[in-house]
Chains A and B, each alone.
Chain A
Amino acid sequence: MGTTERRPIIEMKGIVKVYPDGTRALKGVDLTVNKGEILGLLGENGAGKTTLMKILFGMLQPTSGKIFINGEEVRFKSPSDAISKGIGMVHQHFTLVEVFDALHNIILGMEGHGLFSKIDVERARKKLQKLMDDLNFQVPLDIPVEDLPVGVQQRIEILKMLYRDVDVLILDEPTAVLTPIEVEELFRVLRQLKAEGKTIIFISHKLNEVLELTDRVTVIRKGEVVGTVNTNEATPQLLARMMVGRDVVLRIEKPPKEAGEPILKVENLKVMGDRGEVAVKNLSFEVRAGEIFGIAGVEGNGQTELIEAISGLRKVSGGRIYLNGKDITGKTPRELYDMGMAHVPEDRTHMGLILDMTVTENSVLGLHWRPKFQRFKGVIHWGKVRKHAQALIEQFDISAPGTEAPVKSLSGGNQQKLIVAREVSKEPVFIIAAQPTRGVDVASTEYIRNYLVKLRNEGKAVLLVSADLDEVLQLSDRMGIIYEGEFMGVVKPEEVTTEEIGMMMGGIRYEEIRK
């Protein structure tokens, strides 16, 4: 790690934050950020990382505590105050106007000239192009961002802040949705920014990333700072222990197991994407009992369409899908759930849960019609459902204020656990697990991964789709690498190198690599 001039640029002292609903998210946090360093911020879901950073960015007002920038006390009433002091933040949940293109998203609020004059698009474009060229960090400027992959959206978020010429850049879990290649690219840019003298606060749940990128790491647990260490003195085990307060098994125990009968069989599957393009091309594979079949690949290469087709959410344009030997092509999700399929969707807040409904209600989504939850046909027996929810909470150690709390009051990790719990309670023979640990803290990640292995050990078939290559490598018995809707190869993780996988993800077929 480079030697940094040890001058604090930011000091936060005794920050306390009590949310209006009474949640004590921060209980007196001190944080120091030195000029020109990359500071890692670690902590479990709900530890208070985002809250702390939003306070620094002026989006939230602290209940008490002081903030100093370059030794001078500041009070931010809004983000514009923070930005004017050179602090920028890239949010955990993207804050992009989806219908605007990148250019307008970036210049928003800094359009130049008066409010009523025509926006000088060309000038802005030139300025932006120069910025992008300097960093070698390109995004298409004229496409509505909703049509862009998340990786690109992430870049736009970063450019948005750089365009404002900030000295301190806060990145809240920027890598959660990125592919390995994108992560590498991001790190390159961050290092370059650091070299230019910028200060970066980097939040992540991924220990290896923090170890690779940062200079120092501050760990927060339950609204309090556990400690700060120099990265070159830290180990994954140390950080994990600091975060969780106990030892964490970072390797997944996966006993070898002979796979059984094919449970899911996909034959020559063809699926169209939203824009009428062929998203999945002639894909064939099978997932056997007692096997985790992983799908790796850069996001946007047909994974979503594939999953949706298998789970009955998207029309199949060609080919067949079989579950337990029965043709299930064109069946509805509900029919599939009743036939023993379960589905942990990739986006928990939009697909997996209904945030405004209670834990009880969410615990029965997709099983609500089952006779065991019915008083009589068509009438839900909420008493039984509540017991079911209670059982899931206990069995999966979900921390929730209660079964009648809205699910949005749960932390991300616990939300994800609830989904997994619910899906498992469907007693499936086949489970689709899409991005099962995205944005989930170490402890929950550990839990969920182990649980998937447990399901496999119990003889269930698991289809794992993840942008986290480590996850796929660690969990899969076999894996397919998808590129533009086709498998570049189907391999066993232990038989290939990371480089080879990288090449396949880039569109080179396994046969060609091995030639």
Chain B
Amino acid sequence: MKKSGSDLTKALNPRPFIESLIAILVGFIIGAIVLVAFGYDPLAAYYWLFTGALGSARGIASTLKYATPIMLTALTFAIGTRTGIFNIGAESSFYFGAIAAVIFTNIWANMWFGLLMGMLFGALWALPAAALKVYRGVHEVISTIMLNWIGWFFVLWLIVGPYANPNDPNKTIRIPEAARLPEIGYGLSIAIIIAVIAALLTYFLLWHTTMGFGMRASGINQKAARYAGMNPKLAVMWSFIIGGLLSGLGGAMKIMGEGPGYAISQGGANIYGFGFDGIGVSLVGRNHPLGIILSALFFGMLRAGTAMMQARAQVPLEIIKVIQGIIVIAVAIPSLYDLVKKAVHRGAAQ
């Protein structure tokens, strides 16, 4: 197939990839220093981290499982960024996707229906922020932070009240078996495949369709986009809606595709935090859908290896969080790549 070379090369531009890789490396090195400083063995820690995450089929399955929801919420943030919007509303769209899946699969136990409703409600919850932005000029940082909290309490009310499971009040009613996502193996459902497809579609949408072109153009320069016959307001709307849709899908799949519960836990314990985690994932993936696939897998790996790292190397969870923080900070250093390149050149010259 003669692919438009320009685009493929842009999609696979190695530089940001290498930059993120270096940042990760730096993060691990500083992390090692921290580990040593507190009396842990960094080699053992990292050995078990990777063994836990990648050393067995089970480990790989859990890496993929962890990668799924954050991949989708990261896409939400990335679409926002690419359209010039700082959309941090993925968090609450995720809640709505989850609760919609619970509610609607119990009306009609069909997987596709559940996913569809999850996406629909994720998108619906994104609408107020979109409308406020377009019609009232309300900055999305305010609206999405407020809507996250409002959505949080609303969903808490739904899960403790109307949709609590009468037989097991610590959860909502369960997703009926007929509507659960089929398993690939080792407790991993097809959610990861759907998430990767969603990322690819997002990439395709943004870089290969007229609509995506309009959205990206509006994101960089609204005025020029308008002059080119595009509709930046529509682009903003779509950005929120598609973003909400993706997070909603993430929320729905979180519940429909992950045992053992197949229900939302009381207190929202298993639907909380994914939107915020997604921001970091998106940034490390350079806000590019293809980068996000990799970066989500990386974060998934960190999470999946944590158990082994705690159990075998006895490194407490907090230290692992510290290392994650350092990696993310290191990603922010743009000249890392140049610095390393220079050092390598100098080394080679000698």
Where the two chains meet, the residues of A that have a C-beta atom closer than 8 Å to any C-beta of B are 311, 313, 332-334, 336-337, 343, 345, 350-358, 360-361, 365-366, 368-369, 374-375, 378-383, 385-386, 403-404
Evaluate contact between B208 and A380: CB separation under 8 angstroms. Answer: yes
Interface size on B, residues (CB 8 A): 26
* Alpha-carbon distance A378/B10, docked complex (angstroms): 21
CB-CB under 8 A from B56, the residues of chain A are none
Q: Give 1 or 0 for each of B1-23: 1 = CB within 8 Å of chain A CB.
A: 01110110110000000000000
Q: How far is the CB of A340 from chain B (nearest CB, A)?
A: 13
Chain B residues 276-293 with CB under 8 Å of chain A are none
Distance in Å: Cβ of B103 to nearest Cβ of chain A: 33
User: CA A382 – CA B11 in complex, angstroms?
Assistant: 13
CB B23 to nearest CB in A, in angstroms, measures: 21
Query: Which residues of chain B are near A353, meaning CB under 8 Å?
Result: 224
B314 at the interface (CB under 8 A from A): no
In chain B, residues 224-272, which have Cβ atoms closer than 8 Å to a Cβ of chain A?
224-231
Q: Is the CB of B223 within 8 A of A351?
A: yes
Q: Which chain B residues (1-58) contact chain A, with CB distance < 8 Å?
A: 2-4, 6-7, 9-10
Whether A368 and B210, one on each chain, are in contact in the complex, defined by CB atoms closer than 8 angstroms, is: yes
* CB pair B6 A356 closer than 8 Å: no
Contacts of A375 in B (CB 8 A): 208
Please give 13 more A-B residue pairs, beta carbons under 8 A apart, in addition to A332-B231, A366-B229, A403-B6.
A333-B226, A333-B227, A334-B229, A343-B227, A345-B227, A350-B221, A351-B223, A361-B213, A368-B213, A378-B211, A379-B209, A380-B213, A382-B7
Q: Is the Cβ of A386 less than 8 Å from the Cβ of B6?
A: yes
Which residues of chain A are near B214, meaning CB under 8 Å?
A: 368
Residue B217 interfacial (CB < 8 Å): yes
Residues of A within 8 A of B224 (CB): 350-354, 365
Bound Cα distance from A182 to B9, whole angstroms: 49
Q: Flag whether B220 is at the interface (Cβ < 8 A).
A: yes
Alpha-carbon distance A200/B299, docked complex (angstroms) = 59
User: Do B9 and A404 touch across chains, with their CB atoms under 8 A apart?
Assistant: yes
Cβ–Cβ contact B223 & A358, under 8 A: no
Chain B's closest residue to A382 (CB) is B4
Contact A355 B208 (CB under 8 A): no
What are 7 A-to-B residue pairs whose CB atoms are below 8 Å?
Answer: A313-B226, A332-B231, A351-B227, A352-B227, A354-B220, A365-B224, A380-B209
Residues of B within 8 A of A333 (CB): 226-229
Q: A355-B221, A380-B209, A382-B208 are in contact. Are A366 and B227 (CB under 8 A)?
A: yes
When distances are taken between beta carbons in the complex, the residues of chain A under 8 Å from B226 are 313, 333
A337-B228 Cα distance, complex, nearest whole Å: 9
Interchain CA distance A366-B224 in the complex, whole Å: 10
Are A357 and B210 within 8 A (Cβ)? no
Which partner residue on chain B sits nearest A334 by CB separation?
Answer: B229
List residues of chain B with CB within 8 A of the CB of A351: 223-224, 227
User: Contacts of A336 on B, CB cut-off 8 Å?
Assistant: 229
A231 to chain B, nearest CB (A): 39
Q: Which residue on chain A has the smallest CB distance to residue B218?
A: A354
Residues of the B chain whose Cβ atoms lie less than 8 Å from the Cβ of A379: 208-210
Min Cβ gap B233→A in Å is 12
Nearest first, the 3 closest Cβ-Cβ pairs linking A and B are: A382-B4, A334-B229, A365-B228
Q: In the bound complex, how far is the Cα of B208 from the Cα of A3, in angstroms?
A: 64
Q: Which residues of B contact A352 (CB under 8 A)?
A: 224, 227
Q: Please, which residues of chain B bring their CB within 8 A of the CB of A332?
A: 229, 231
Q: With a CB–CB cut-off of 8 A, which chain A residues contact B2? A: 383
Note all chain B residues with C-beta closer than 8 A to A355.
Answer: 220-221
Contact partner, A383, options B4, B213, B220, Cβ 8 Å: B4
A354 in contact with B217 given A368-B210, A374-B210 (CB within 8 Å): yes
Alpha-carbon separation in the docked complex, A357 to B2 (Å): 23
Q: Which residues of A contact B6 (CB under 8 A)?
A: 358, 360, 382, 386, 403-404
Q: Who on chain A is nearest to B214 by CB? A: A368
Interchain CA distance A354-B219 in the complex, whole Å: 10
| Shortest Cβ gap from B309 to chain A (Å) | 41
For window 189-229 of chain B, which residues contact chain A by CB distance below 8 Å?
Answer: 208-211, 213-214, 216-217, 220-221, 223-229
Answer whether A378 and B209 are a contact pair too, CB < 8 Å, given A355-B221, A383-B2: yes
Q: How far, in angstroms, from A73 to B305 measured CA to CA in the complex?
A: 62
| Bound-state Cα–Cα, A378 to B213, Å | 10
Q: Considering residues A378, A379, A382, which has the most beta carbons from chain B within 10 angstroms of its beta carbon? A: A382
On chain A, the residues within 8 Å of B227 by CB distance are: 311, 313, 333, 343, 345, 351-352, 366
When distances are taken between beta carbons in the complex, the residues of chain A under 8 Å from B3 are: 383
Contact partner of A357 among B7, B220, B223, B229, CB < 8 A?
Answer: B220
B contact residues around A382 at 8 Å (CB): 4, 6-7, 208
Contacts of B9 in A (CB 8 A): 404
Residues on A with C-beta less than 8 A from B216 are 357
Contacting pair A404 B10 (CB below 8 A): yes
Interface centre among B2, B224, B225, B229 (most CB of A within 10 A): B229
Q: Which B residues are CB-close (under 8 A) to A357?
A: 216-217, 220
* Docked CA distance A345–B9 (Å): 31
| Centre residue among B2, B7, B209, B227 by max chain A CB count within 10 A | B227
Q: Which A residues are CB-close (under 8 A) to B210?
A: 368-369, 374, 378-380
Closest to A370 in B: B210
Residues on the B chain within 8 Å of A368, using CB: 210, 213-214, 228
Query: Measured between alpha carbons, how far is A300 from B5 in the docked complex, in Å?
Result: 45
Whole-angstrom CA separation of A360 from B6 in the bound complex: 9
Chain B min CB distance to A509 (Å): 33
User: What B residues does A343 contact at CB under 8 A?
Assistant: 227
| A366-B211 in contact (CB<8A) | no
